[in-house]
Each structure stands twice: as C-alpha cells, then as structure tokens.
C-alpha cells in the first residue's frame, strides 16, 4: 500500500509544479500581450548605437512573440548614416545629427521628417582591469581630470601621483595604463569627448593640437588612436579587450551594462560635490535631473556634468531613438510605423522595468510624456492608446507630478567613505562585487550605493588601518608592477619588507643545459639519415 501512495503523491507534486510554472509563464507574459494588441505587425529594421544595444536587445526579445524588430548594433555614426540613406526604419544614436559639425567632418543632412525620442538613460562608465598583488581591484576612484589625462596620454602609469591621490586605500602598481578607445564611429566617443571639451577644454585642446587627429574645441565620434592607446571596434570590442587576461592595466569608456555583463568593475567618478560615484541606475537618474531638454528633446548636458547633488554621476546621458515622421520614406511605410510606434511605447513603459538590472537607468515621467508626443508623430502610430497612467514605468506612479522621479527620490546618499579624503570604500563596483583589501594608507568602509549589487555587497570590513596610517607616508611609498611595497619613507616607524629579488636571468648553467638539450635533439633528428647514407656509400664504394 505504500508504493501507490508514494506514486500518487509524486504525481500530485508534478501536476502542481506544472500548474505553478504555467501560471508563472502566463503572468510574466501577460503585461506584454495586454500592452500590445493582438494584431500582426510588419517586421522593422534598425541600426545604431552599441551603447544602448543591451536595453534594445532586451526589449526586442520581450516583444519577439508579437513583432519582429531587427536591430544591428554597429555604432551611432553608422546608424545615423543609414537613417539618412533611408535603408532602415529607425536609428539609435547617443548624439543628434551633426548638421553643423565643428571638427571639420562633412555635415549630415537628415532632412526634416524625423524626430528624436529618448529611450533610455545610462552612464558612460570607465571599465578597467587592474590587479594589486595578484588580486583584482574593484574600488578604483578617479577624478574627472585624471580620466581626461589618461585618455589624452598625459598620465601613462597607474602609480601616477594623481591616481594615487584619488585612491588613498590602494597601493597603485608601477604599471603602464593602456587606454582602450573605440576605433569605429561611436556615440560613446562623442559623449565622452563632449564631456572633456566641456569640462577640461585645456587638456582636450592640447591633445588635439598635438596632431593626433581631432579638432580642438569640438567633440568627435572618431576618437583618435593616440600613441599608447589601443583601438577596438564597438562596445563589445573595447569591453572584451579589457576583460581579457592580457588586458591587465587597460581602461576603457563604455556603457555601464558592459562591465556588468563582463563581471568587471568600473571606476567611481568624482562629481562636483566631492563624492566618487558609481553609475548605477539611481545615480544616473539623479544626474540626469540636471539635464536641460531642448524643444526637439535633445539634451544639453552641461548641468549634468556639474550637478551639485552628491548622488549624481557626472557622465550620465540619454540615448535616442530616431524615428521617421513621414511615410513612405525609403523602406519605411505606414505599416512599419505601426510596429515602430508599438515598440517605442513598449520600450518607454514596461520596457523600462528591466533596464535598471541591465545597467541602464529608466526614463522619468516628463520624458515618457514627451516621448508619447513623438510616437503620435510616427505615421501609423496615431491609433495607439497612449495613457501615461497605465504606462507601468518604474520611475513614476499614476498621478505623480510631471517632474518627479521615484528613482531619484529614493536614491540613497553616498557613503562617507566615498567622499574625497583619506578614506576609500572597499566595496566592489559594477559586475565585480568583491571587496578590495586596503593596501594603501587610507581607511576603508562599506559603500551604501544602491547599485545592482547592493544586496550582495555587505558592509565592508571597515577601518582595517594599514601600516603607517598617515596619508603623507603613502605618497612617499614606492610599489612595483605587482603592487608589492618596494620602499617606504624612512621615519614612518613601519617595517618595510625588503623585496625578494631573484638572480638576474643571465646565461648560467640551466640555460647552457637547455641549449645542449636542443642541440642533442637536433643531432638526434638529423644525424642518423646523414650517417646512414655516408656509411652505405662507403660500404658500397669498394665494390
């Protein structure tokens, strides 16, 4: 009697599991199917930014059972060029069309029948690969000026006093910095160079005037591959290079989602209130409160760079969907417009639920509202039901005022150890939540950044003071390529280990033996045939 009972129980468990699973599947797909009416949509094509492609790919996947949206991520410049030649339905770009470029490039002429629609916010982050004593650094901090100097070739070593000054808790190694830049035309390059032009014009102009291939005083989509730098194509390429083992010492500028995906850290960037901030969804949301939105919805980021909120990330920006406003236009028709409008609506509303996890920041209400007005301009998008209250966007609740952003309201204040000073948080960043032990002279502390890893990152092992303790000592200490202390200033009262040096690899016994072994091997291979031939000849010659 025992066996059948066990069997039925198993069956019951099985059926309940199936039922649970099916309800789960139904409940997750339900919002999508209700948002997009059950009609057939014509497939559409788009090209452009790799910066925001993580979010776009997520949305495409989510609506794949309703409509087919094809997207090729090959850079903002390429997206805009293809939109001008009308061979795509939409483009995605970080920067608007360059109708009056100041860097000497040919003006882009997109015509007038298009509109910009912000789709997602994010932070241009600085992903790096650095080890101290064989252990990955996850809590690097950099000021804007340091970053500008690294990417213009002025700072070439990780132990540069300026980097060491930003990182009192780290014993920076004597290692060459490899700045990895985009070799293709890129919106990330444009946003990054725009920030430098705006914030550090002197550094940028000196860089361009040295003849590397950019114009002083203007941003560029084609970042110069200056001596010492490495050029790689697309966001995947630069992030992939940094993430390799041989990428140790490399740093690149790329959207926050890429280091998150690659399980690598990003540098915390100093904002104008003196805090080093990681580009999490909330710090980008706070940063973007400083953006001035122009009439055509393009952004003026001057207020973001200097946002005085201590929680703001200075290199925050929006990415744009460029949509046609007349049909037919090249491949674009009204039927495509219906798909595009529905896709745009999904991305502005439900789509924004997921972007925080991916490493982006959801759009606030005023931009969703403005985006809706752009969707209405898309031919074929007029019939779409656009109600801000049923939008299901995480930054606002139904009935909120236009300017409020739930994410910015709930964004936590930065931890005290993130403030510029002798303390440095040990908590990891982005895709690398592990703590970094203190190797320099500063104090540690746990960061309260409500990042993606906030749950995982516990309180740091605070205040394990390193030897010495005073920061004046740190500037005098010398570390080698692997972050081992070579010498410290005398009088600190600290014991400094003498580095263990191996005998230099001159030609010794072991090398001689190796050479002899190689010679023997070669002899063993080549001698027998020669000898045998000789022997045969000598033995046959008398006859």
Partner 1 sequence: MSAVTFTPRADVRSTPPASGPRRIAPRAHIADRIFQSVAVSAGAVTVSIMLAVGLFLSLRAKDALVVAGPSFLFEQAWSPETGVFGIAAVLFGTVSIALVAMSVSVPLALGTSLLISEVLRGRLQRTLISIVDLMAAVPSVVFGLWGVFFLQAGIIPVSQWISTYFGWIPIFAVTGADGARLTEASAVTSSAFIAGLVVALMVVPTQTSVMREAFSQAPVGEREGALALGSTRFGMIRAVVLPFGRGGIIGGTMLGLGRALGETIAVYMIISPIFTINWEVLKTGSNSVSALIALRYGESSDFGLSALMAAGLVLFLVTLVINFTASSIVARSRSGASS
- Closest contact distance (angstroms) between CB of 88 and partner 1 is 11
Q: Which part of the chain contacts partner 1 (CB under 8 A), choosing from 79-87, 144-152, 277-285, 340-348?
A: 79-87
Q: How many C-beta neighbours within 10 Å does residue 373 have?
A: 12
State the Cα–Cα distance between residues 279 and 429, nearest whole angstrom.
Answer: 9
How far is residue 25 from each of residues 19, 67, 406, measured CA to CA in Å? 10, 19, 28
110 binds partner 1 (CB under 8 A): no
Which of 71, 246, 262 shows the shortest CA–CA distance to 254? 262
Sign, CA dihedral 484-489-490-493, equals negative
Q: Which part of the chain contacts partner 1 (CB under 8 A), choosing from 53-61, 238-246, 331-339, 512-520?
A: 238-246
In 106-265, at which residue ranges do the beta strands (DSSP E only) sit? 114-128, 131-132, 135-136, 141-142, 178-182, 230-232, 250-255
Crossing angle for the helix pair 201-209 and 187-199, nearest 10 degrees? 120
Nearer to partner 1, 245 or 387 (CB): 245
155 binds partner 1 (CB under 8 A): no
- Phi-psi map region of 117: left, alpha, beta (phi>0 left; psi -120 to 50 alpha): beta
Tokens of 15: 């059926």
CA angle in degrees (0–180, nearest 5) for 16-22-25: 140
Burial of 425 (0-12, 13-18, 19+ CB in 10 A): buried
Contact 353, 55 (CB under 8 A): no
232 binds partner 1 (CB under 8 A): yes
Nearer to partner 1, 232 or 299 (CB): 232
Indicate which single residue of 17, 29, 176, 511 sits in contact with partner 1 (rule: CB under 8 A): 176
103 binds partner 1 (CB under 8 A): yes
Indicate which single residue of 43, 61, 161, 213 sits in contact with partner 1 (rule: CB under 8 A): 213
Indicate which single residue of 46, 185, 287, 371 sits in contact with partner 1 (rule: CB under 8 A): 185
- Reported residue count of the chain is 543
259 binds partner 1 (CB under 8 A): no
Nearer to partner 1, 130 or 367 (CB): 130
| Greatest Cα-to-Cα distance within the chain, rounded to the nearest angstrom | 114
178 binds partner 1 (CB under 8 A): yes
187 binds partner 1 (CB under 8 A): no
Indicate which single residue of 81, 170, 194, 267 sits in contact with partner 1 (rule: CB under 8 A): 81
Strands 250-255 and 114-128 come out as: antiparallel
Nearer to partner 1, 104 or 491 (CB): 104
Indicate which single residue of 3, 4, 99, 104 sits in contact with partner 1 (rule: CB under 8 A): 104
Contact 252, 239 (CB under 8 A): yes
Query: Total binding residues for partner 1 by CB under 8 A?
Result: 36
Q: Among residue numbers 16 through 75, which ones bind partner 1 (CB under 8 A)?
A: 74-75
- Closest contact distance (angstroms) between CB of 80 and partner 1 is 8
183 binds partner 1 (CB under 8 A): yes
77 binds partner 1 (CB under 8 A): yes
Contacting residues for 507 by C-beta, under 8 A, at least 6 apart? none
Nearer to partner 1, 230 or 376 (CB): 230
Indicate which single residue of 110, 169, 247, 279 sits in contact with partner 1 (rule: CB under 8 A): 247
State the Cα–Cα distance between residues 527 and 480, nearest whole angstrom.
Answer: 49
Q: Which part of the chain contacts partner 1 (CB under 8 A), choosing from 11-19, 176-184, 409-417, 437-445?
A: 176-184
| Residues found near partner 1 in the complex (CB under 8 A) | 74-75, 77-78, 80-82, 103-106, 175-176, 178, 183-185, 213, 221, 225, 227, 229-233, 237, 240-241, 244-250
């Amino acid at each position: 009697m025992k066996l059948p009972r066990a069997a039925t129980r198993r069956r019951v468990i099985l059926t309940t599991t199936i039922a649970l699973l099916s309800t789960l599947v139904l409940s997750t797909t339900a919002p999508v199917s209700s948002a997009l009416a059950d009609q057939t949509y014509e497939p559409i094509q788009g090209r452009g930014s790799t910066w925001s492609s993580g979010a776009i790919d997520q949305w495409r996947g989510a609506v794949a059972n309703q409509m087919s949206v094809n997207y090729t991520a090959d850079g903002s410049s390429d997206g805009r060029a293809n939109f001008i030649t009308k061979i795509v339905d939409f483009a995605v770009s970080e920067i608007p069309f360059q109708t009056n470029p100041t860097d000497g490039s040919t003006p882009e002429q997109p015509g007038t029948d298009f509109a910009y629609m912000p789709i997602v916010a994010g932070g241009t982050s600085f992903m790096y690969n650095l080890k101290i004593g064989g252990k990955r650094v996850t809590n690097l901090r950099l000021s804007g000026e340091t970053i500008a100097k690294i990417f213009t070739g002025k700072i070439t070593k990780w132990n540069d006093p300026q980097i060491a000054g930003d990182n009192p808790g780290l014993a920076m190694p004597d290692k060459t910095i490899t700045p990895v830049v985009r070799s293709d035309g890129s919106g990330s390059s444009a946003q990054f160079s725009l920030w430098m032009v705006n914030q550090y014009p002197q550094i940028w102009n000196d860089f361009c005037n040295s003849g590397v291939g950019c114009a002083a005083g203007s941003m560029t989509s084609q970042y110069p591959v200056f001596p010492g730098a490495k050029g790689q194509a697309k966001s995947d390429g630069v992030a992939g290079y940094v993430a390799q083992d041989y990428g140790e010492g490399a740093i690149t500028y790329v959207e926050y989602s890429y280091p998150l995906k690659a399980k690598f850290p990003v540098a915390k960037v100093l904002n104008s209130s003196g805090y080093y901030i990681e580009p999490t969804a909330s710090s980008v949301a706070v940063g973007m409160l400083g953006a001035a939105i122009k009439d055509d919805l393009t952004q003026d980021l001057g207020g973001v760079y200097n946002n005085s909120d201590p929680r703001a990330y200075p290199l925050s920006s929006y990415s744009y969907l460029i949509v046609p406003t007349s049909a037919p236009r090249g491949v674009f028709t009204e039927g495509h417009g219906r798909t595009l409008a529905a896709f745009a609506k999904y991305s502005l509303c439900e789509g924004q639920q997921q972007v925080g996890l991916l490493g982006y920041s959801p759009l606030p209400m005023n931009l969703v509202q403005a985006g809706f007005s752009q969707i209405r301009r898309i031919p074929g998008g007029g019939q779409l039901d656009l109600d801000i209250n049923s939008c299901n966007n995480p930054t606002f609740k139904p009935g909120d005022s236009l300017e409020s952003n739930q994410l910015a309201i709930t964004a936590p204040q930065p931890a005290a150890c993130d403030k510029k000073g002798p303390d440095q948080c040990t908590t990891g960043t982005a895709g690398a939540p592990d703590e970094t032990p203190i190797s320099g002279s500063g104090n540690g502390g746990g960061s309260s950044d409500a990042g993606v890893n906030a749950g995982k990152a516990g309180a740091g092992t605070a205040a394990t003071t390193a030897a010495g303790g005073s920061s004046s000592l740190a500037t005098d200490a010398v570390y080698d390529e692997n972050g081992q202390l070579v010498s410290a200033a005398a009088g600190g009262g600290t014991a400094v280990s003498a580095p263990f040096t191996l005998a230099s690899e001159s030609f010794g016994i072991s090398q001689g033996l190796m050479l002899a072994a190689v010679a023997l091997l070669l002899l063993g291979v080549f001698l027998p045939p020669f000898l045998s031939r000789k022997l045969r000849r000598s033995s046959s010659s008398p006859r």
